[in-house]
A and B are shown apart, each in its own frame.
Chain A
């Protein structure tokens, strides 16, 4: 039995909050993060004063410092704070892991996890990777060894992986398109999805312009503004909570080496390959037990890679796996029931965690997965850092 299994079900998500996701905002990142935090605290039904941990997935760039939260919420005795900035988009789920660690050891009792992404009104996501100031581990490598060759933005780096996957396994453009179409279909059922009013067919997908082959425009995630927050506590403290959602398993992992994609022995092996077996072992579950999955979909091909790494299918079989509606609502494994980064909004995967909680509370309305008991959430960032959590109601 996995040693970490002792931590299974020891902590819960008892509050979630989300602002509207928009393309354009006049609010600052801190204002948005505070707005989402207030929602999460109200949703949890606690008094803000009892928060003694603030975990900042995006560090100061994700909507404020620990000091900002202490000052604005009047937190007189904060015990614990941490930043997961180096994880890139894997930061949201890794922040859940961080909270599990701090809460289950008794270091803290109530953890707030706020994250704002202002990728539309602030600095665009596409501009961030080559700046070492963003804290991404690969940023120096990108600036000095890729950007002089016109490779500075995520669609370009990640297209390398997609091209390699297509070469090795025959993955098709239509299969990548099936991912994009599924995400859009789900977004149309979500009132807080940026793309809710804009349908997409496979023909639309195939007609969209090339960005960086094999990626078209509609393989790429959105750049949006908005924030989300989680409130977590221990299972015994959650007994009075209305709707606690338990963390059964959680894990993070890193590709090797993390700071340079080309020099990995296998460029398709990333953090999730390492951490998924650990996370499933901690939960005592297997991929086929999952009722749905919220997979970090920065690009269509990265979603396919993570389905393989998480163990839903074998390496190379991700393309056929996503065909014929399997990942759509009503299919065998509904994926990104909120529309994901591709069609709901890009909040660095915190929206994926929120959606998993909504599904497990059975509050997803038209997009509810029937009798959802167990769900997987993944994170991906900074050239392949990975994280995953298995949640249950």
Chain B
């Protein structure tokens, strides 16, 4: 069974195109500099519609997680148990992602992690994280 992939349209298409180039970029307001994610048209801080896809360093820490044992999406049957983690980037925004290269039971809140790119197919690359080496 195929895993569900993002629907590549609008801002989401642009976000994942940057990922496909192995660059993690998030929206940043060009008027006040506030980051935002997931993407949307307007800055909630200053209401400016001017923004850019600004690169982030790709370092962050574990904010919280869940370890999935029952694959409610059957496409993930071979992956359980896997940890779905909220990672807080150094720049502030948080991502729902995976922390790989370690057993889920060793996850801790605050643990430093770094970005890697998982090329799923010719179109989609997912940003994932692993413990800082």
Q: Are A150 and B68 also in contact (CB < 8 A) when A144-B6, A260-B38 are?
A: yes
Tell me the minimal C-beta distance from A52 to chain B in angstroms.
38
**Among listed A37-45, A108-116, A209-217, interface-contacting one:** A209-217
Q: Are A156 and B84 also in contact (CB < 8 A) when A144-B12, A213-B67, A262-B63 are?
A: yes
Q: Does A164 contact B (CB under 8 A)?
A: yes
- Contacting residues, chain A, for B37 (C-beta < 8 A): 260, 263
Give residues 44-92 of B contacting A (CB, 8 Å): 44, 63-73, 75-76, 79, 81-82, 84, 86
- Contacting residues, chain B, for A79 (C-beta < 8 A): none
Q: Are A212 and B66 also in contact (CB < 8 A) when A148-B6, A262-B94 are?
A: yes
Q: Bound complex: CA of A161 vs CA of B65, how far in Å?
A: 9
Whether A149 lies near B126 (C-beta < 8 A) is: yes
Whether B94 lies near A160 (C-beta < 8 A) is: no
Tell me the minimal C-beta distance from B67 to chain A in angstroms.
4
Tell me the minimal C-beta distance from A146 to chain B in angstroms.
5
- Contacting residues, chain B, for A206 (C-beta < 8 A): none
Q: Does B93 contact A (CB under 8 A)?
A: yes
Whether A163 lies near B70 (C-beta < 8 A) is: no
Whether A150 lies near B38 (C-beta < 8 A) is: no
Residue in B64, B66, B82, B97 with the greatest tally of chain A CB atoms within 10 Å? B66
- Contacting residues, chain A, for B124 (C-beta < 8 A): 148
Select from chain A the residue with minimum beta-carbon distance to B6: A144
Select from chain B the residue with minimum beta-carbon distance to A165: B64
Whether B72 lies near A145 (C-beta < 8 A) is: no
- Contacting residues, chain B, for A148 (C-beta < 8 A): 3-6, 120, 124, 126
Q: Bound complex: CA of A47 vs CA of B99, how far in Å?
A: 60
- Contacting residues, chain A, for B68 (C-beta < 8 A): 150-151, 156, 211-213
Q: Which residues of A are at the interface with B, using a C-beta cutoff of 8 A?
A: 126, 130, 141, 143-153, 155-156, 159-161, 163-164, 167, 209-215, 217, 257, 259-260, 262-263, 267
| Given A149-B84, A150-B79, A260-B38, 15 more pairs with CB closer than 8 A | A145-B95, A146-B84, A149-B96, A150-B3, A150-B76, A151-B66, A160-B64, A167-B64, A209-B69, A212-B67, A212-B72, A215-B66, A259-B38, A263-B93, A267-B63
30 example contacts (A-B, Cβ-Cβ < 8 A) are as follows: A130-B4, A143-B6, A143-B7, A144-B6, A145-B95, A146-B96, A147-B73, A148-B3, A148-B6, A148-B120, A148-B126, A149-B84, A150-B68, A150-B71, A153-B73, A156-B66, A156-B68, A160-B66, A167-B64, A167-B109, A210-B69, A210-B81, A212-B67, A260-B37, A262-B63, A262-B94, A262-B96, A263-B37, A263-B94, A267-B64
